[in-house]
Structure 1
Amino acid sequence: MGDMVVVRKEGLYCVPGQFYIDPWRPVDRAVITHAHGDHARVGHGHYLSAASGVGVLKSRLGQDIHIDGIEYGASVEHNGVRISLHPAGHVLGSAQVRMEHKGEVWVASGDYKVEPDRTCVPFEPVRCDTFITESTFGLPIYRWESEQSIFDDINGWWRKNAAEGRCSVVFAYSFGKAQRILSGLDPTIGAIICHGSAEPLNRVYREGGVDLPPTKMVTDVDKAALKTAIVIAPPSAGGTTWMKRFGDYSDAFASGWMQLRGARRRRGVDRGFVLSDHADWPGLMTAIRATEAPRVIVTHGSIPVMVRWLRQVGLDASGFNTEYGDDEADEVVAADVPEEAGNA
């Protein structure tokens, strides 16, 4: 029997099931791992996602998309392939796709991280015969500090700025990263302001049962209160007229790429907080081992490095070339990314 999942021009294709996983071109049936723009696109005839991801997908792709959501661990059958979705720990509603056909099991990870956070269900290892893994930060240099230590740093920086009468601005991706940062902020320091691109997603997260502190739009905060506030905004807001209302502010950038030497300098911000919603190198290795899969296919990121390492430890490893980008790579200039990281 041939491979259960192959790469076509439309995306990753489950051959016996006749459906696609996170396709980048319009298809009839798409199983979506999560709602970031490089994995969830408009134009598909039918969408299947984790139940907790339906609200986010509708918020981003339109309320009228034809979508079904299933709970984590539940299964549906399509053309003889049993499909189930399992927590990926990446963002709200993120899932790994488990496919079983004639006794063989494949799992496509989508994007994932193994460190639990307060905004999504923790990663759940799924045993399989073949594991398709991301490799966004698939280099040994990437090793994250604990989430709480990063939150402590952010709150300490904000508290110091507030004491000096200076607004604090954190640039972060509007979906996932913004909500994760919000979940760790100390609201006793001052007002928390969110850019208009993040606020609708905050509502979806709250509706999904995620506890986030109260947030305000900038128009709801008086000028005096702005001096002790923290602002969460997408990188695209930098340098726009929207930023001028905050006066003399201190800014920061939150991304896994902030671990790279020179990334903060090239972004031109005061602080860089190393916070990623992707697994670091130890996390990737932990996740792969936990699947007990003898075969691993590496995609979007540091493919050659990971494939070489996995072969050295005795696994049957190869790569898939895909069109997936990275929600964090959009936040830094290309010069900050090592050559081995490809499109990460």
Structure 2
Amino acid sequence: MDRGLFLLPSRIALDVTRRQAIGFISHAHMDHAAHHAMALCTEPTARLVRYRLGDVSTKIMPLGEAIEIAGLKLTAHSAGHILGSAMVYAEHDKGTVLYTGDFRLGPSATAEEAQLRSADYLIMECTFGHPNYRLPPRDTVIEMLLEKVHEAFRRGATPVISAYVLGKSQEVTKILTSNGIPVLQHPDIYAISQIYQEAGCDLGDCRPYQGRPVPGCVVIVPPKPITPGGLPGAVHVEKFHVTGWAFDPRRRRNAPQDHWIPLSDHADFDQLIRAVEEVEAKTVFCTHGPKSFVEELKSRGHDARWLE
């Protein structure tokens, strides 16, 4: 049996990570992409997928423009997750489906704001589907980040931010440079940032890290290079983790001396509830999160089910 999500009867795969004849790729994180015979995605996602997987054959889905394929009408809508991320809205004579992929409501520094749409059936990711994951307002989190970065500078330290290579690193870069703070990026991050630039997403004053810190600059690295020894070439480092998991006490206990900034590119608990209410689906299918979220939705009067 071929596991994964598929639109039937067309067999269009939804973020399936094995090669398929036709596969919709919501965004270019590798747990959502594969080298499909034909990949359906937005133009920025196509650029990023080709960088990460090679010469993938793509059919571009401009946001808001319906395409006909395999007997279905499909429309991509922005998901607010990372550059190029999209939901897909499918129309069939038996009803309509909205598949969110990873999404976030509200503004983003580097992604178009998510656009929800009413549908008969909603398939949604629910990573933060527990009430513990109610994140502070975005402006508050950004103020927290900027304040702690400036405090580190005043102490003569180099702020070193741990963030995912694709998505979070570029958003944090844009937030910092928009507030007058230049950024040095790990080479793997910088390579992807150049694709952002080519796609028209200006990240401001960012350069590759070349082995030593520069006064007044923040350094952004993937999670693994932040080691107990700090950053090669830097004497005094203060470490930052920018993630929605900043509220998880188990993760904070692993590095209690570091700065934890709760900026997420996933919808938090309240945004997940809001999405369900706005889509007004007859049935909600949940995936990639706590199964308790299904019971939460049922308690609110929704027909909710868990997708294994």
- TM-score, normalised on structure 1? 0.84
User: C-alpha distance in 1, partners of 2:182/2:233?
Assistant: 15
Q: What SS class does the counterpart of residue 244 from structure 1 fall into? A: coil
Q: Which runs of 5+ in 1 are unaligned?
A: 1-7, 322-344
Pair 1:269–1:28, CA change in 2 (3 A)? farther
Q: How is 1:186-201 mapped onto 2 (pairs within 5 angstroms)? A: 186=177, 191-201=182-192
Q: What SS class does the counterpart of residue 216 from structure 1 fall into? A: strand
Structure 1 equivalent of residue 15 of structure 2:
22
Letter in 1 for 2:198: E
**Structure 1 residue 154: deviation in Å?**
1.7
User: C-alpha distance in 1, partners of 2:49/2:255?
Assistant: 30
CA RMSD of aligned residues (A): 1.9
- The answer as to 2:130 corresponding to 1:130 is no
Deviation larger for 64-73 or 152-161: 152-161
State the Cα deviation string for residues 225-273 of structure 1 (Å, max 9, x = none): 6343211111011229882212221111111111122422313552100
Structure 2 equivalent of residue 185 of structure 1:
176
User: C-alpha distance in 2, partners of 1:147/1:233?
Assistant: 22
State the Cα deviation string for residues 65-101 of structure 1 (Å, max 9, x = none): 1112121111111221111111111111111111111
State the Cα deviation string for residues 35-73 of structure 1 (Å, max 9, x = none): 1111012x32111102232212222222x1111212111
- Would you say how many aligned residue pairs link Structure 1 and Structure 2? 308
User: C-alpha distance in 2, partners of 1:100/1:187?
Assistant: 40
User: C-alpha distance in 2, partners of 1:214/1:245?
Assistant: 21
User: C-alpha distance in 2, partners of 1:104/1:90?
Assistant: 26
Q: Which runs of 5+ in 2 are unaligned?
A: none
Letter in 1 for 2:302: L
Structure 2 equivalent of residue 217 of structure 1:
208
User: Is the contact made by 1:137 and 1:301 (CA closer than 8 Å) also made in structure 2?
Assistant: yes
Structure 1 equivalent of residue 112 of structure 2:
121
Letter in 2 for 1:15: L
Q: How is 1:302-341 mapped onto 2 (pairs within 5 angstroms)? A: 302=290, 304-321=291-308
User: C-alpha distance in 2, partners of 1:160/1:179?
Assistant: 22
Structure 2 equivalent of residue 270 of structure 1:
258
User: Is the contact made by 1:155 and 1:186 (CA closer than 8 Å) also made in structure 2?
Assistant: no
User: C-alpha distance in 1, partners of 2:144/2:183?
Assistant: 16
**Structure 1 residue 310: deviation in Å?**
1.3
User: Is the contact made by 1:170 and 1:233 (CA closer than 8 Å) also made in structure 2?
Assistant: yes
User: C-alpha distance in 2, partners of 1:125/1:138?
Assistant: 18
State the Cα deviation string for residues 139-197 of structure 1 (Å, max 9, x = none): 01111122222222222222222222211101011111111111111577654110111
User: C-alpha distance in 1, partners of 2:110/2:87?
Assistant: 17
Q: What SS class does the counterpart of residue 235 from structure 1 fall into? A: coil
48, 56, 81: which is aligned to 2:48? 56
Structure 2 equivalent of residue 288 of structure 1:
276
Q: What SS class does the counterpart of residue 153 from structure 1 fall into? A: helix
- The answer as to 2:25 corresponding to 1:32 is yes
